[in-house]
Amino acid sequence: MGPYPQTKLVVSDLTPEEVLDLFHAYKLKRRRAVRNQLVEEHMGFAHHIAHRYRNRGVADDDLHQVALVGLVKAVDRFDPDFGVAFTTFAGRTIEGEVKRHFRDATWAVRVPRSMKDTSLRVRAASDELGQTLGRPPTVPEVASHVGIDTDEVVAALAASEAYGTDSLVTGSEGGDAPRDREDVLGTVDDELESTADRALVESLLELLSERDRQIVELRFYEQLSQQEIADRVGVSQMHVSRLLTRSLTLMRAEATPGH
């Protein structure tokens, strides 16, 4: 494999409008040639992200390959009508893919963090929809509710099987006492209730500092209490509360139409 470009994030002469047109064309026809053009257009961006994770015990070639796969997934999943910049969306997808490479060894079997999060969200959505519908939800219903595609739901369900029957009582990271499934899943927060909100929150998280983002993710994705977050982050519970309020206020303001 040849050297990777390091200098420019966007390597073509296409205007942002032309790139957006390509995304619309790809959404409509799913032509591989268009997909490849979009991938090549943003290859430098993927390499840029991979470059940030160098010197951490993973070969550069591996990192760049992983980032490329993340970029391909991002192009496939990106909805140009959603109003979020592709780089915002892709950044999270590519980083998620790279972080998956630095897997968390605390869970049995090989289950990446992104899949753990997804599995918990799929489980929570299944339970919630089951109560609402009065029957077990279908995979497309769960996918729509969580805001992911149907085969990701299948993969998440496969991941939850990987935990085995003990997965209903799972230990939290850091050696805390095991918590019941209900505690892990908690209830879906009103602010994150709709699928659209979930997708929007993903992009709004980019606005926050690393620590603030971590706190919001611990609260809403891992369903930790403020005290558990405080213990994890090393600040007081009240401080966590204030930081959460500040972060959500900022995110709400950004999400307000006309902002």
With contacts defined by CB under 8 A, name the span among 151-159, 171-179, 181-189, 226-234 that binds other proteins: 151-159
Residue 169 per-residue DSSP state:
E
CB atoms within 10 A of CB 190: 8
Say whether residue 66 binds other proteins (CB under 8 A): yes
Considering the complex, state which of residue 144 and residue 150 has its C-beta at the smaller distance from other proteins: 150
Q: Total binding residues for other proteins by CB under 8 A?
A: 33
**CB of 197 within 8 A of CB of 188?**
no
Q: Does 238 participate in binding other proteins (rule CB under 8 A)?
A: no
If the CB atoms of residues 8 and 30 are measured against other proteins, the closer one turns out to be 30
Q: What does the radius of gyration of the chain's CA atoms come to, in whole angstroms?
A: 19
Question: According to the binding rule CB under 8 A, does residue 244 interact with other proteins?
Answer: no
77 near other proteins (CB under 8 A): no
Cβ neighbours for 168, distance < 8 A, ≥ 6 positions apart: 180, 181
Answer for which of 8, 27, 30, 77 binds other proteins (CB under 8 A) is 30
Tell me whether residue 11 or residue 250 sits nearer to other proteins (CB atom).
11
Q: Which of 87, 88, 144, 150 is the binder for other proteins (CB under 8 A)?
A: 150
Q: Is 32 a binder of other proteins (CB under 8 A)? A: yes
Closest CA to 51 of 112, 11, 6, 111: 6
Dig out the tokens for 207 from the structure. 């606005």
Residue 180, strand partner residues: 169
Give the DSSP letter of residue 164.
-
Among 9, 11, 25, 39, indicate the residue that binds other proteins (CB under 8 A).
39
- Looking at 22, 46, 49, 68, which residue binds other proteins (CB under 8 A)? 68
Residue 14 makes contact with other proteins by CB under 8 A: no
| Cα atoms in the 13 Å half-sphere on the side-chain side of 128 | 20
- 59: burial class by Cβ within 10 Å (0-12, 13-18, 19+)? exposed
Are 221 and 117 in contact by the 8 Å Cβ rule? The answer is yes
**How many C-beta neighbours within 10 Å does residue 165 have?**
7
Shortest distance, position 155 Cβ to other proteins, whole Å: 5
Determine if 109 is a binding residue for other proteins (CB under 8 A).
yes
What is the closest distance, in whole angstroms, from the C-beta atom of residue 105 to other proteins in the complex? 13
Which residues within the stretch 128-147 sit at the binding site for other proteins (CB under 8 A)?
none
Give DSSP secondary structure letters for 12-34: S---HHHHHHHHHHHHHH--HHH
- Residue 159 CB, nearest approach to other proteins (Å): 4
**Quick check: 110 binds other proteins (CB under 8 A)?**
yes
Per CB under 8 A, residues contacting other proteins are 1, 29-33, 35-36, 39-40, 65-66, 68-69, 72-73, 76, 100, 109-112, 115, 149-151, 154-156, 158-159, 161-162
